[in-house]
Chains A and B, each alone.
Chain A
Amino acid sequence: MPDAAGTIEAEKSRDIRKRWLLSLPALLIILLAASGPLLIVLVYSFLTPGPYGDVQWLPSLEGWISVVMEKDIFDGTFSIADAHVSIFVRSVVLSLVTTILTLLAGFPTAYFIATRPERTRELWLFLITIPFWTNLLIRTFAILEIIRNEGLINGLLLKFDLISGPIQMLFTDGAILTGMVYVYLPLMVLPLYASMEKLDFRLVEAGYDLYATPFKVLRKIVIPLVKPGIIAGSILVFIPALGAYVTPSILGGGKNLMLGNLIELQFGQGRNWPLGSALSITLMLIVMVALLAYVRNAGSQGSRHG
């Protein structure tokens, strides 16, 4: 006859088996729909491009080399691919600026919501999520409609004779930035709110009581305590911004490319799938570096609190 401990042990392992079974659908999806394609992308990046797109099963490093280098079509020498490098730099810079701008706009917003009475907070959060109701493409075209040369802003300015000719706003980095800040702002506000809601506002009062001015309270008390939210929000904005495709392609007009557009180009008109695959994996690596920095930061935060 099994003893009590044995029975409990058996019960426990059966429980664990049951849970694995329940999570099987999700695991299958992750395995087939995420890891599988990723593996294909990795393999493709080491193959030779086919003449009409697709790949030829000849191993080649050319896709990877082309990520940052370009081959001179006459003498076959390699030089730095200025176009690619500038797209990388633009992507990282625009994503960073987007992150900073959403943080600057999202922080006061989250603080505002977190300091409302509990009953009305849900309403404010609900308002934040309203943009998600409409397709991203449509919202981006709406921005286009506002800032294009014959659009709302230029129309009004011209009508009141404030300018002599339309200001070129569309197809600039500024236009891409505007669109991305608009799209990613809720992704910053929500994690910021989540950590501010947990903030003990008596600590803010204690700060005021101990001669800290409002600015010092923000810097010495509020920001250190909501840091996990700031980091989470920044990650949530930075990563999708880096791979943004719709916003830069509509508001940047194909002239100001970002990484997402460059990758799309290789799989479409460029007919260079290995390069597209190598670029995709490069993008993933950048994201991984950013995440590692996050994990390390969050980890040290945890141990300091522990």
Chain B
Amino acid sequence: MAELNAIEIRNVSKIFGFGEFAFAAVDKASVSIRQNEFFTLLGPSGCGKTTLLRLIAGFEFPTSGDIMLNGENIAAMPPFKRPVNTVFQSYALFPHMTVADNIGFGLTMLGRPKQEVRDRVAAMLRLVRMEALAGRRTSQISGGQQQRVALARALAPQPKVLLLDEPLSALDYKLRKDMQIELKRLQAETGITFIFVTHDQEEALTMSDRIAVMSSGKILQVGNPREIYDAPTDRFVADFIGETNFLKGRIKSVADGVADVDTPVAGRISATVPQDFHAEGEVTVVLRPEHAMLCPPDQPAACQMTGTLENVVYFGTDTHYHVRLSDGETLFTLREQNKPLQSARFAEGDRVGIALEANAARVLRN
């Protein structure tokens, strides 16, 4: 028998307001989150990711659809009955309690014996390395420490699923990097399913087992970080994650999931077609900037495209080139890693060619 999914969102919609002001914060979303998974809901602000998280936590109830937790429908269950805990964006620590009382709150509310609560609080303080601050008020500790307390408080009752609502957004860069590693460690040590909400694509790519990209209340694509980055099927996903070049073209033929696309600026390109997608007519092809190279324009065999180099930006590890293609409209971005002591091969204003790596291009669904 296959293992039950930790969370299953089945065709869930959440509509705020009535009549002409009605607005679907979550629009017929369906996704399955596996046991012990670090799952990320990624999207720009207002895309519905936080609403979806609040639906799972029970702070909002879906207008329609089911939310299954280990096979049980919890869509109508009040939040205090759900074995799910939340780390809030603002931490929401109780200001009138000590660090230890905050961490023990959930267990106390569950009616666990005092000794068990004490032991568990001590274990949690050890887990987040905050033993020394147990007796402090939450107003007397730093933002990073508050973050740890919020994590310990949510983990203490051993929830089936831990929900994290942009928990790192208030921290400075260095602390955020540390907490990212810390979160991965905690997830591995506790074996609890994490559902993490963020608008930071880098954070999502580095931390997640799988990512769901959301926009306007819809889940556009679910996959592991590599799939999301390398094989975006949707224009929004391709644009939101990393830098991307879009080329218009017309399908000539499709064979074995690879389409022969005729583009006005780059001629014939072989591009991978998403599964279950019947590609025909006008399509958009995406190309990542690091999957292209500059080449001398006088070698037509190697270069698919030519254009004028408009802009060179040095980034330390690599250099970004912005090339105005021969149609005079499209600005193509490409990125080359810098080699030691190598001087720039091309200068702004030069005519350049662009060579594409094999299998780099992909056809989008829309």
Chain A residues with CB under 8 Å of chain B are: 200, 202-203, 205-214, 216, 220-221, 224-225, 304-305
Query: B86 near A: Cβ within 8 Å?
Result: yes
Instruction: Type the 1/0 row for B153-195, where 1 means its CB is closer than 8 Å to any CB of A.
Output: 1100100000000000000000000000000000000000000
The 8 Å CB contact of A211, one of B88, B96, B139, B157, is B157
Known: A206-B92, A209-B85, A211-B157. 7 other contacts (CB 8 A): A203-B92, A205-B86, A208-B59, A210-B109, A211-B110, A212-B105, A216-B109
Q: A305 to B96, Cβ gap below 8 A? A: yes
Contacts A213-B80, A216-B109; A305 near B94 (Cβ below 8 A): no
Report which of A203, A205, A211, A220 forms a contact with B59, defined as CB distance below 8 A: A205
B residues apposed to A, CB below 8 Å: 57-59, 78-81, 84-86, 88, 90, 92-96, 105-106, 109-110, 137, 139, 153-154, 157
Find chain B residues with CB under 8 A from A212 CB: 80, 105, 109
By a CB distance below 8 angstroms, the chain A residues around B84 are: 209
A210 contacts B96, CB within 8 Å? no
Q: Are B92 and A208 in contact (CB under 8 A)?
A: no
Q: Say yes or no: B86 contacts A209, CB within 8 Å.
A: yes
Are the CB atoms of B109 and A304 closer together than 8 Å? Answer: no
Q: Are A208's CB and B58's CB within 8 A?
A: yes
What residue in chain B is nearest A225 (Cβ atoms)?
B96
Distance of A237 from chain B, by nearest CB (Å): 24
In the bound complex, what is the Cα–Cα distance between A60 and B78 (angstroms)?
70
Tell me whether A206 and B94 are in contact (CB under 8 A): yes
A220 proximity list for chain B (CB < 8 A): 105
How far does the alpha carbon of A205 sit from the alpha carbon of B93 in the complex, in Å? Answer: 11
B residues less than 8 Å from A304 (CB atoms) = 96, 137
With A202-B88, A304-B96, A305-B95 in contact, do A209 and B137 touch (Cβ < 8 Å)? no
Contact, CB under 8 Å: B109 / A200 = no
- A200 close to B137 (CB less than 8 A): no
A221 with B106: CB separation less than 8 A: no
Q: B94 to chain A: which residues have CB within 8 Å?
A: 203, 206-207, 221
**What are 23 pairs between A and B in contact, CB < 8 Å?**
A202-B88, A202-B90, A205-B88, A205-B92, A206-B88, A208-B58, A209-B57, A209-B79, A209-B80, A209-B154, A210-B106, A210-B109, A211-B81, A211-B106, A211-B157, A212-B105, A213-B80, A213-B109, A224-B96, A304-B96, A304-B137, A305-B95, A305-B137
